[in-house]
Structure 1
Amino acid sequence: MAQKAAKKRKVNVNVEKSSTNTIFTINIVFYISLLLLVALPPYFRGMYFDNEFLPTIGITSIVVLIWALIKIFKKEPIITERLDYAALSLVGAYLISTFFAVNIRTAIGETLKYVDYVFIYFMVSRLANDKKKIWVLLNVLVLSSFGVAVVGLLSAAGYINYNGSWVGGRINSTFQYANTAASFMMAFLFVNFALISYTENKYIKALYGIEAFVQFYAYIFTLSRGAWVMFPFLFLFLIIMMPKGKKVEPFIYLIGIVVASSLPIVKFNSIVNGPKPHNLLMWIFVGALLSAIFTYLISFIVDAVNKISLKVGISIIVIVGILSSIGGYMVLTSQMPLTLSHGQNEADSLKSVTRFVNVDADRIYVLKYTVKSENSENRDWAYGITIDSRNDLDQPTKIKDVYDKESFSGEKTIEFSTLKDTKRLAITFINNFKDTSVTFKKAYIYPKNNPKDVQNIMLKYKYLPENVASRIQDISLSSHSSSERMQFYKDGFKIFKDYPLFGAGGGAWASLYFKYQSYLYWTTQTHNYFMQVLLDTGVVGAAAIIFFLIALILSIFKLYKAEMDRYERILLASAATGILSLYAHAAMDFDLSLSAVTIALYALIGIINSMSISRKESATPIIKGKKLYNGYYNYGVLIVGIVVMFISFSLSAALRYAEKGDSLVKTNNIGQAMQYYKSAVSYDPWNAKYRMSYGQTLASIADQTKDAATLQEAMNEEQKAVDLEPFNSQLSAQLGAFYLAHGQIDKGIQYVKKAVEVQPLRPENYQQLADAYNKVGMFYLQNNNKVKAKEYLEKAVDVENLFNEANSKSEEPKPMTDTMKKIVDNSKQILKGIQ
């Protein structure tokens, strides 16, 4: 009996051990899957476009539904925390808003995205459930950011041809947008600086130093002014969040990285704009090597600082801070003469430097400068200076330009008056012709009636590349990008007033802004994440995001106040700073519209939730020694996962069919294209553009075959397209053209007029309307119906008044198109003949 009992116990132990190993293996598989889902998105154009993001949603859904099944089998809860419910409330707000959406397709798309973000959040919360796993996840995110930086730098050096990664002298990297690249790299640069303090291994610290240099180097040459301005404040937050005895470390390591980067930064422009941009790689290696060495050596200094008294440590920080401030001051104030020149063998080309100066409106100023110019070959001019006024919208108006032909050395002055709406001046120094040169040694500006009120103009920064210097010069709330963003926000509130409670659904701004804009601009983003949520989901969504942020802040605060070891505090500091960094920059740009950034953000929030859960003695209440398990939530996650999987794969399939249809249309294979568009519509019935394309191919076939049934089907599809996107002026114009082409004049005019109504500041829309009236008038005239002809030709002429009326309300009026002028003049001439 004893032998049997022992054997039974042995079998049970083996079964339990096997079961434990299986569970461990399953968790590792899911954890690795999670790491891939978090790390890879930045490399697919930031997951901004549907053809990359929709399959990702489908794959994430598959992982989540399998994970939910296992959780149901093991009776382990997925949703337990206040932060969980807060995250779900935002999904709920987007789901509700789809029932009130002005564009149901984009609303569904945004809802799917938020479901995906919350899936990532839930998985991180439950899978990254100890310090080691959190540390690994943070390192994977840092490596992902490091890879983004590498792609950007190697694109600038010409080694990588990633479309849109290096444009206009700015690093956009895989996000194809410089400001988002800057935001992403900045956030995980902070995480990197925290992780340097996590490890005690000095060689690993050196590796972190290399990562930090590459991130910092690429971050600088995104030339993102907003990210530059935020950096010191966010870094201060990181220092505050770091544990005692570790607060000094990130700052000292940052100084080391900045020093190591200084020479590569100075060399960047001359190399990438020179004949051998590949040489940038050498400077990347130099900076990386110096960063590794400095970080390694600094680690000994840090050890020494940690061993001495607190007062001495603070004194060292103060001294380093003062020295750093002095160094920064020297970098930002040290100047040298500005030389612009063209050699004898150099073709004529515009070389210029622009500097911005804040001034008073409606006042007389004097620009005084010391110059040396050479024009030995008697070119048109040796140098020029243009002075532009910039108003609230940063719109330029030229108020003075001077072109000096003679060779000259000495001091000159230019007197000018600012305008009544002048907020600042843009002063541009120019050289254009070969075999000419100019050197501006000094320049300053002052009011004519107050010569003592002098402003020095930084002609050339001694220690900064010109593209960095020019961006620093243009940091201002009245800069073009800043003033334009403020206008977006004003126009956004106009939309909110009309859709206050539930919003206008996901993608509200892109669908509606043309109707509400104060002047004609083109942007599908609000450049403010919180404004976007407000427009998408109204007061309901605003309450949800406030609930979410409050729950998040409370979780971070409780963790900060809790008893934790220094390593947990470092993990908390890194995650919290990363979250603040991403949200802060998203408040002034559209970073979170690139889903890769939002996935990373929700992963960081999941880390906070995971740490909160681990602080509790039990994740669920215990009754009589057993955990109370509510499986309904897990089943809900499972069902949502299945639904989202099918929808995302269906939409993804529709996209592939539509792309195939587009390629067939280009080869004039209308019949086959129609079949592909039909499939696209069946898989994505809410997509207005697919329906319009399907309707247009049907109409083309019907016109050839004279098939009335096909023509009716074409009309139905094109009408459905406009019904799905009623504020899309392009679709309305296309439907109007269809009706006009098929003899339904009243309906045709109705939808061409609608195109004007939903986008009233675009001159081409008025051109289309005038053209429609003109052609209808000519049709009636050819059929000898002079009364009707006169009616429509008069309407064609009256479009000019409609345009002028709308244009007068614009803060930036646009001229009438030349084609419209010809149409209006033609209509007037014909009317004279009729009368």
Structure 2
Amino acid sequence: MTNQVYGNMYNESSKKERISIEQMNSGSALIWTLVSALIIFLIWAPFQQGLFNGQSIDFEKPIYWAGVWAAALLLLAVVAFFKHMRIANKREITAVGVWLLPLTYILSSFVAVSHYLAMDMILVMGISAIFFTIGVFLLQHRSANRVMRAALLWTTYLIVIYGFINWFGQRMFAGSLVGWFSHVVSNGVYTDAVMTDSNGLRLTSVFQYANTYAAFLMAMLFAVLFTASRSLKLYDRLIHGFMLVPIILSIALTLSRGGLVMLPIVFIVLLLLLKPTQQLVWIVNLAVSAAISFIVLQPITDMGLSLNQVYNGAEAFKGWALLIGASAVNAALIWLSGRYLQPLFERKFEKWSARRTASLWLPLGGLVVIAVLAFLLIGTGLKNVLPDNVRTRVENINFQQHSVLERITFYKDSMKMVADYPILGGGGGAWAVMYEKYQNNPYISNQTHNYFLQYLDETGIVGILVLLAFLVYVFYQYLRSYYREQDEEKKHGYFFYFLIAFSILAHSLLDFNMSYVYVSILVFFSLGGMAAAIEAVPLSRVKKTPESANTDTDLAKRTGIPTLYATCAGVVAVVLLIFSGRYVAAAGDAQEAYALLQGTEQRSYEEVREPLDRALKIRPTDPTTVSQLAAVLQSVYSSTQDANYLNEAEALLLKAYERESHSKAILNQLGAIYVSKNEPEKSFRLLADNLDKFNWDMSWYEQVIGQAVTASYLSLNAGDTEAQKAAAQIGIHTYNRMLAGVEHLKTLPEGQLQGRDFTVTSMTTLNAGKAMFLNGQTEEAAATLKNILTDDFANTENADTALWYLIALKKLGQEDPAVYNKLMDVNSSVKKQIDELGSSTF
């Protein structure tokens, strides 16, 4: 009979007991190896564009490397915690439930509209599940928990400081710091760390997207604010208080309206979870930090705008001095707040804090204060004290400005996709490859700008229900444990993770933050931290035995659940490691081939083809690589006139088309191959049959209409009247769709941007007129062509318009001598064409 385990004490005779991770006095070498590897990963990952999943070759390789990292970390975690896993309680069962999320992506892959992107999303979701799993086990360990909280804060500080290095114009220095391990550095500069758009310069730091940087900063602002308020050590409070000003300034410099709107909303919600004393400390510290940031915002904004135009070392030094000085003042004030105000609040409001509804009053009052501040900043002259670029963004916060209207459009369009793929969705990447089919107007957006709607598009009702059930379970069980927990240190040690997960998920209702795999990892690791705080209540009540005081331990021992789980997790890690490693190799080969094709040096066919073949051997349906190889084969055919190259290209494209039927690259390349094979009818049919997939692609319409005329004319010469009219009718129908689309765009709300160009050009109208003539709609053809007729017959397009106009008149038995004479002056040979076509019967 073994000794029972009490608290943190156990002796040699109890080694066979499965002690919980919480009861461990110290970590093994494996645990600290895991922690070290995690910290290295958290430093590496954000500088890879935040591991943005942009569904293109430029973004893939770092994500696949993250898959290798994640698999190795999972193996470490399994070995480190195998002897301490229980799985049989409400806490650790989440480490099983999280794997339902990648499972939903696996299920949706069977009906995926893009097999290639579906496999990528299984990998991405698997990475997220791994970091959740690691979080559940690792963060139960108190020492590891403290280290990981510090690591998350310090990596945040690195990202913020890196952003300011770029903001103050020191881009080459910034590039040199990370260029040795980041592929994003080009020509010595981290690309778009400060980006330019219609609003001017916007700070993005490592993310290259200001809104996601704002979401990240918002989450970490609350985490830093919380840590600064809870720190007992002088240097901790000073350091965290120091960083509050750079974080708040960075949020302002992103010019993110979504961040400005969501920040106060999330802040009010978070206050509800704190005691009144803590609420007051948060409010005071945030107000002080915001006030100091506001004071220096204008000069720091001006310096950044100037230094990114022309760098000046002295001016950059002034910028750093101002930033450091303001941050130092704030650090001192935060320390004074903790030293004097916080104890005062605790004494004065001790009785008030004990009341059940005490935590409601300050948040409710905060709503009033925020509403007043919003009114003053938006509706009064107070906004004039803001920097011009910030003021412009604040003024545009309303429901009629373009980004709000565009997001509403995205959301409506995404629901159209759900109607067609309701149960399992369209698979990973469905929105990216299919949004052009459902879009209301010709915008460009591979993201729905809403994490939950994009998840719904990709995994259907089944997937979104699983996700919501998982999130609801974790949040509910965490909050239940949070309110029951009596150990303040433990309670607040996990609240840190709640701040991060809740803040980013809330902002993800408005943007595609979770498409950044680094951000997704932060969220799921933080969710794992929340799960680690859930009370370890057994899932099944079993009779206690003399050998065990814990029912979940007893159940785990008797069922072998931990062993089964560890085995399955190890298998998953090995499979992920193999797939990720292979994908890394394929991405590397694809990039090598792309570099060879884009280079100025002449390369042989064999030299270019070798890396393409290696990449396709691993991922045969990669649309980019397939279309690249097909283009190479087409180019070789042009030189050799060997039809075998075209046949191989066609076979390659058709095989990929079976699983990538919405790939524009494959469709365009296949159409080009048909043209090269002198099979215009196949090219025309391919484009026409797939028009519905690209409803607002103006060039696609133009190709269909143009090729409809060609196909109709060839059928006319072949004497096939039925085929002639069928092709012409497709061209006319396509033209009418274009006209209807142009009219629809006029109905867009005033503040909404149209997106890409979508207009009916004179060449398109000319081809439509030809199609009308070939379909026997001679009067309509003459009227259509007359509308675009000009006197400049030296222009071949105008001359062609005049020719077909006169042909239509000839067939109607009419004339236009003025046009006829001017055209004859330019080209006397047109008389024969007019007579032949004008006299034709069909």
Q: Identify the TM-score tier after normalising by the shorter chain.
A: 0.7 to 0.9
1:289 aligns with 2:289: no
Counterparts of 1:324 and 1:280 in 2: how far apart (Å)? 34
From the superposition, tell whether residues 462 and 720 of structure 1 become closer, same or farther in structure 2 (CA, over 3 Å). Answer: same
Matched residue of 2:500: which SS?
helix
Q: Pick from 341, 345, 353 the counterpart of residue 302 of structure 1.
A: 341
The CA deviation string for residues 423-450 of structure 1, in whole angstroms up to 9 with x for no partner, is xxxxxxxxxxxxxxxxxxxxxxxxxxxx
- Contact 2:51-2:62 at 8 Å conserved across structures: yes
- Contact 2:268-2:366 at 8 Å conserved across structures: no
Partner amino acid, structure 2, of 1:692: S
From the superposition, tell whether residues 751 and 473 of structure 1 become closer, same or farther in structure 2 (CA, over 3 Å). Answer: same
From the superposition, tell whether residues 270 and 96 of structure 1 become closer, same or farther in structure 2 (CA, over 3 Å). Answer: same
The CA deviation string for residues 17-65 of structure 1, in whole angstroms up to 9 with x for no partner, is xxx9997111110122123334532221010121211111112112323
Q: Pick from 215, 219, 241 the counterpart of residue 183 of structure 1.
A: 215
Counterparts of 1:676 and 1:599 in 2: how far apart (Å)? 32
Percent of paired sites with the same residue: 21
Q: Pick from 620, 629, 642 the counterpart of residue 694 of structure 1.
A: 629
Partner amino acid, structure 1, of 2:148: L
1:515 aligns with 2:437: yes
From the superposition, tell whether residues 608 and 327 of structure 1 become closer, same or farther in structure 2 (CA, over 3 Å). Answer: closer
- Contact 2:253-2:301 at 8 Å conserved across structures: no
Give the deviation of 1:218 after TM superposition.
0.5
Counterparts of 1:720 and 1:323 in 2: how far apart (Å)? 60
- Contact 1:529-1:589 at 8 Å conserved across structures: yes
- Contact 1:736-1:750 at 8 Å conserved across structures: no
The CA deviation string for residues 99-128 of structure 1, in whole angstroms up to 9 with x for no partner, is 010011111111111111111111121112
Equivalent residue for 2:65? 55
Matched residue of 1:174: which SS?
coil
From the superposition, tell whether residues 247 and 796 of structure 1 become closer, same or farther in structure 2 (CA, over 3 Å). Answer: closer
Q: Pick from 637, 644, 653 the counterpart of residue 718 of structure 1.
A: 653
Matched residue of 1:247: which SS?
helix
From the superposition, tell whether residues 321 and 748 of structure 1 become closer, same or farther in structure 2 (CA, over 3 Å). Answer: closer
Q: Pick from 197, 214, 219 the counterpart of residue 229 of structure 2.
A: 197
Counterparts of 1:66 and 1:653 in 2: how far apart (Å)? 24
Matched residue of 1:308: which SS?
helix
From the superposition, tell whether residues 699 and 158 of structure 1 become closer, same or farther in structure 2 (CA, over 3 Å). Answer: same
From the superposition, tell whether residues 530 and 481 of structure 1 become closer, same or farther in structure 2 (CA, over 3 Å). Answer: same
Aligned counterparts, 1:363-402, within 5 A: none
- Contact 2:634-2:646 at 8 Å conserved across structures: yes
Ranges in structure 2 where 5+ consecutive residues have no aligned partner: 1-11, 17-23, 53-58, 172-188, 539-548, 749-753, 769-784, 786-796, 809-833
From the superposition, tell whether residues 791 and 190 of structure 1 become closer, same or farther in structure 2 (CA, over 3 Å). Answer: closer
The structure carrying a bigger helix percent of its residues is 2
Q: Pick from 166, 169, 184 the counterpart of residue 194 of structure 2.
A: 166
Q: Pick from 143, 148, 155 the counterpart of residue 154 of structure 2.
A: 143
Q: Pick from 252, 255, 269 the counterpart of residue 237 of structure 1.
A: 269
Counterparts of 2:107 and 2:376 in 1: how far apart (Å)? 54
Partner amino acid, structure 1, of 2:617: S
Matched residue of 1:138: which SS?
helix
From the superposition, tell whether residues 615 and 683 of structure 1 become closer, same or farther in structure 2 (CA, over 3 Å). Answer: same
Ranges in structure 1 where 5+ consecutive residues have no aligned partner: 1-11, 335-355, 357-456
Equivalent residue for 1:434? none
Partner amino acid, structure 2, of 1:167: M
1:816 aligns with 2:760: yes
Equivalent residue for 2:96? 85
Partner amino acid, structure 2, of 1:631: T
- Contact 2:218-2:259 at 8 Å conserved across structures: yes
Give the deviation of 1:629 after TM superposition.
4.2
Counterparts of 1:651 and 1:181 in 2: how far apart (Å)? 28
- Contact 2:75-2:573 at 8 Å conserved across structures: yes
From the superposition, tell whether residues 785 and 705 of structure 1 become closer, same or farther in structure 2 (CA, over 3 Å). Answer: farther
Q: Pick from 110, 115, 124 the counterpart of residue 126 of structure 2.
A: 115
Give the deviation of 1:214 after TM superposition.
1.4
Equivalent residue for 1:543? 465
Equivalent residue for 2:165? 154
Counterparts of 1:327 and 1:625 in 2: how far apart (Å)? 54
Counterparts of 1:752 and 1:320 in 2: how far apart (Å)? 58
Give the deviation of 1:319 after TM superposition.
11
Equivalent residue for 1:378? none
Give the deviation of 1:189 after TM superposition.
1.0
Normalization by structure 2: what TM-score?
A: 0.76
Equivalent residue for 1:206? 238
- Between 113-122 and 723-732, report the one with greater CA deviation: 723-732
The CA deviation string for residues 381-412 of structure 1, in whole angstroms up to 9 with x for no partner, is xxxxxxxxxxxxxxxxxxxxxxxxxxxxxxxx
From the superposition, tell whether residues 477 and 776 of structure 1 become closer, same or farther in structure 2 (CA, over 3 Å). Answer: same
- Contact 1:145-1:188 at 8 Å conserved across structures: yes
Equivalent residue for 1:647? 579
From the superposition, tell whether residues 795 and 23 of structure 1 become closer, same or farther in structure 2 (CA, over 3 Å). Answer: closer
Counterparts of 1:660 and 1:719 in 2: how far apart (Å)? 24
- Between 666-675 and 711-720, report the one with greater CA deviation: 666-675
Counterparts of 1:487 and 1:611 in 2: how far apart (Å)? 39
Give the deviation of 1:286 after TM superposition.
1.8
Partner amino acid, structure 1, of 2:117: T
Q: Pick from 640, 643, 647 the counterpart of residue 705 of structure 1.
A: 640
Partner amino acid, structure 1, of 2:65: P
Equivalent residue for 1:733? 668
- Between 815-824 and 258-267, report the one with greater CA deviation: 815-824
The CA deviation string for residues 288-325 of structure 1, in whole angstroms up to 9 with x for no partner, is 1111111122122234414523279889x999999998
Give the deviation of 1:527 after TM superposition.
0.4
Counterparts of 2:461 and 2:370 in 1: how far apart (Å)? 48
Give the deviation of 1:711 after TM superposition.
2.7
- Contact 2:43-2:155 at 8 Å conserved across structures: yes
CA RMSD of aligned residues (A): 3.5
Matched residue of 1:661: which SS?
helix
- Contact 1:130-1:614 at 8 Å conserved across structures: no
Counterparts of 1:198 and 1:22 in 2: how far apart (Å)? 24
From the superposition, tell whether residues 495 and 139 of structure 1 become closer, same or farther in structure 2 (CA, over 3 Å). Answer: same
Counterparts of 1:721 and 1:125 in 2: how far apart (Å)? 40
The CA deviation string for residues 756-790 of structure 1, in whole angstroms up to 9 with x for no partner, is 22112221111122333345567779999999889
Counterparts of 1:313 and 1:745 in 2: how far apart (Å)? 82
From the superposition, tell whether residues 323 and 823 of structure 1 become closer, same or farther in structure 2 (CA, over 3 Å). Answer: closer
Counterparts of 2:195 and 2:415 in 1: how far apart (Å)? 33
Aligned counterparts, 1:250-649, within 5 A: 250-274=282-306, 276=312, 278=316, 279-306=318-345, 308-310=347-349, 333=376, 458=380, 461-612=383-534, 620-622=552-554, 628-649=560-581
Counterparts of 2:422 and 2:555 in 1: how far apart (Å)? 45
Normalization by structure 1: what TM-score?
A: 0.77
From the superposition, tell whether residues 87 and 618 of structure 1 become closer, same or farther in structure 2 (CA, over 3 Å). Answer: farther
Equivalent residue for 1:413? none
Partner amino acid, structure 1, of 2:761: T
Matched residue of 1:524: which SS?
coil
Matched residue of 1:526: which SS?
coil
From the superposition, tell whether residues 593 and 320 of structure 1 become closer, same or farther in structure 2 (CA, over 3 Å). Answer: closer
Give the deviation of 1:568 after TM superposition.
2.1
Counterparts of 1:233 and 1:553 in 2: how far apart (Å)? 18
- Contact 1:755-1:765 at 8 Å conserved across structures: no
Give the deviation of 1:695 after TM superposition.
1.9
Counterparts of 1:273 and 1:677 in 2: how far apart (Å)? 44
From the superposition, tell whether residues 694 and 565 of structure 1 become closer, same or farther in structure 2 (CA, over 3 Å). Answer: same
Matched residue of 2:153: which SS?
helix
Query: How many matched pairs?
Result: 698
Equivalent residue for 1:758? 693
Counterparts of 2:436 and 2:259 in 1: how far apart (Å)? 29
- Contact 2:277-2:342 at 8 Å conserved across structures: no
